[in-house]
Amino acid sequence: MSPRISAPAITWPDLPALQQPPWPDAQELDRAVAELRVLPPLVFAGECDQLMQRLAAASVGQAFVLMGGDCAETFEANTADSIRARLQTVLQMSVILTYAASLPIVKVGRLAGQYFKPRSKPIEVRDGVEMTSYLGDAVNAIEFDAGLRRPDAQRLVRAYHASASALNLVRAFTQGGYADLRQVHAWNQDFVRESLAGQRYEAMAADIDRALSFMHACGANPDEFQRVEFYAAHEALSIDYERALTRIDSRTGLPYDVSGHFLWIGERTRQLDAAHVHFASQIRNPVGVKVGPTASPDEIVELAEILNPERIPGRLTLITRMGAGAVRDVLPGIVQKVDACGVPVVWICDPMHGNTREATTGHKTRLFDDVIDEVLGFFEVHRNLGTFPGGIHIELTGDDVTECVGGTGGVLEGNLGDRYETACDPRLNREQSLELAFLVADMLIKR
């Protein structure tokens, strides 16, 4: 492949940026940034352009986006088994959605870069001891230890390398035969196979097998059945990391953030006049913004004008995360105003971040029923307004964890302590993820 992306030659204005780590040593940071600036791109501009086209289809109801993965990736879980399990979950969900709704599913992992976390409190206090909060593995360690909680800029470089190895494995899995549709049964192994959702999946996979055998007998074996397009996304939170990985594409002379195909701006950093939105406005990747229940319609219209002034379909995704209790009241006003302003957007529902609560056990959790109810509300609002529900954004894992309550697998509050493994927010386990996919497939059919 020709090296189309050259070293960066971009100057950035000095704008306020919220949620940046309190780096204790400016020279350490400069050294890490200098290293990052000359490392090879993780993704190519042409891939980002292709994703933009797929998102454009989702903006007009001709495709549906499935974005999923960890709240916070960790270096410890950057293993073949863990990455494969997450990929398997997304592939299984995607097959469920494609088969039921006969719609192309745009598959995007919250992975290979999701190493930075915004926090509501910059300082964590335990038994009177204060430390910098955990800000993601790219900044400090989760252990409550003064030395390990010190932001260490070399971790930025480590996050880059961890992302490179994860993406390498994802590319091998998705292009090298593992994602072949004839493997649909193979993705349904281990604990999930015996679950209700796993059995339902197995029946569907048998139907798909029969259809494939029929087509094969007719002489059709298209390339599309043997590979899948899979894209990597993360929150563009660390201004230093993302700027260092922004390069000028030598083909077009335009800047791309080569740390991931799709970057989003979080709910806490979407101020119109600050560094994150400015950064997103400069790069040519498709970008997203989280939109919570306190957002005003006017502010989101302004954001849409800033981030998509050329009105390019697929360029801007609004990831709404209102909470099950608010989605039906708050979302219509925003959708109406944005739709009327004429900037095309992809509407995606994140039914996780507006539905976080504390369990009686003290765990941060989410109720499966709230997650489903928010997606239902999202579909209702778009149906009423004649706009398109373009996708879902889910925190999930491939493992049998007990972090969210509910689902037919019956995770109860009392079970939360059994396998509560997340480094940040509670994720759906594999069975809950498949169950969600079947429910969303029904909503897509009735859309």
Work out whether 247 is an interface residue with ligand PEP (CB under 6 A).
no
Extract the tokens encoding 65. 């986006």
Least separation in angstroms between residue 269's CB and ligand PEP is 8
370 makes contact with Mn ion (CB under 5 A): no
| Closer CB to ligand PEP, 71 or 376, in the complex | 71
Region binding Mn ion by CB under 5 A among candidate stretches 26-34, 203-211, 362-370, 425-433: 425-433
Among 54, 261, 290, 427, binds ligand PEP (CB under 6 A): 290
From first CA to last CA, the distance across the chain in angstroms is 42
- For every residue of 262-279, DSSP letters joined together read EEEE-GGG--TTSHHHHH
State the binding partner of 431 from Mn ion, ligand PEP, none, CB within 5 to 8 A by kind: none
Sole residue written with tokens 């709910």? 267
Question: 355, 323 in Cβ contact below 8 A?
Answer: yes
Tokens matching residue 419: 């396998």
**Which residues contact residue 201 at a Cβ distance below 8 angstroms, ignoring those fewer than 6 apart?**
92, 96, 188, 192, 434
Is residue 118 close enough to count as binding ligand PEP by CB under 6 A?
A: yes
- Give the DSSP letter string of 64-115: EEEEEE-SS--STT-SHHHHHHHHHHHHHHHHHHHHHH---EEEEEE-SS--
Burial 83-95 (b: 16+ CB within 10 A, else e): bbbbbbbbbbbbb
State which residue, 197 or 316, has the beta carbon closest to ligand PEP.
316
In a 10 Å sphere around its CB, with 0-12 CB exposed, 13-18 middle and 19+ buried, how is residue 269 labelled? Answer: buried
Ramachandran category for residue 355: left, alpha or beta (phi over 0 → left; psi -120 to 50 → alpha): alpha
The DSSP result for 377-410, as a single string, is: HHHHHHHHHT--EEEEEEEB-SS----SBBTTTT
Binding flag, residue 350, Mn ion (CB under 5 A):
no
CA dihedral 300, 302, 308, 313 (to 10 degrees): 50
The reply on whether position 71 binds Mn ion by CB under 5 A is: yes
The beta strands (E) that lie in 87-205 are given as 105-110, 123-126, 129-132
Binding test (CB under 5 A) with Mn ion, winner from 425, 426, 428, 441:
425
Tokens describing residue 376: 């239902």
Q: Does 280 bind ligand PEP (CB under 6 A)?
A: no
Site string for ligand PEP, 412-441 (x = CB under 6 A): -------------x----------------
Measured distance CA(227)–CA(223) in Å, rounded: 7
- 321 touches ligand PEP by CB under 6 A: yes
Give, as ranges, the residues between 350 and 369 that touch ligand PEP (CB under 6 A): 353
Q: Which two tokens stand for residue 154?
A: 């070399």
Q: Which is nearer to Mn ion, 425 or 431 (CB)?
A: 425
Give φ, ψ of 400 to 5 degrees: -90, 50
CB of 372 to Mn ion, least distance (A): 18
Write down the least CB distance from residue 353 to ligand PEP, Å. Answer: 4
Binding residue count for ligand PEP, defined by CB under 6 A: 10
- Stretch near ligand PEP under the rule CB under 6 A, chosen from 120-128, 263-271, 296-304, 405-413: 263-271
CB of 321 to Mn ion, least distance (A): 9
Q: How far is the CB of 317 from ligand PEP (least distance, A)?
A: 13
Between residues 95 and 394, which has the closer beta carbon with respect to ligand PEP?
Answer: 394
Looking at the Cβ atoms of 41 and 113, the one nearer to Mn ion is 113
Which residues between 225 and 244 bind ligand PEP (CB under 6 A)? Answer: 235
From the list Mn ion, ligand PEP, none, which binds 137 (C-beta under 5 to 8 Å, kind-based)? Answer: none
* Binding flag, residue 266, ligand PEP (CB under 6 A): yes
What's the residue count for the chain?
447
- 137 makes contact with ligand PEP (CB under 6 A): no
C-alpha 140 chain-centroid distance: 21
Query: What single letter denotes the amino acid at residue 232?
Result: A
Query: Smallest distance from the beta carbon of 82 to ligand PEP, in angstroms?
Result: 18
CB of 275 to Mn ion, least distance (A): 21
Nearer to ligand PEP, 268 or 447 (CB): 268
Using the contact rule CB under 5 A, the part of the chain among 152-160, 383-391, 397-405, 417-425 near Mn ion is 417-425
Q: What's the rounded Cα separation, in Å, for the pair 23 and 221?
A: 54
Q: How far is the CB of 395 from Mn ion (least distance, A)?
A: 5
Query: In the bound complex, what is the minimum distance in angstroms from residue 318's beta carbon to ligand PEP?
Result: 11
**73 binding ligand PEP? (CB under 6 A):** no
Which stretches of the chain bind Mn ion, using CB under 5 A?
71, 425
Which residues of this protein are in contact with ligand PEP, per CB under 6 A? 71, 118, 235, 266-268, 290, 321, 353, 425
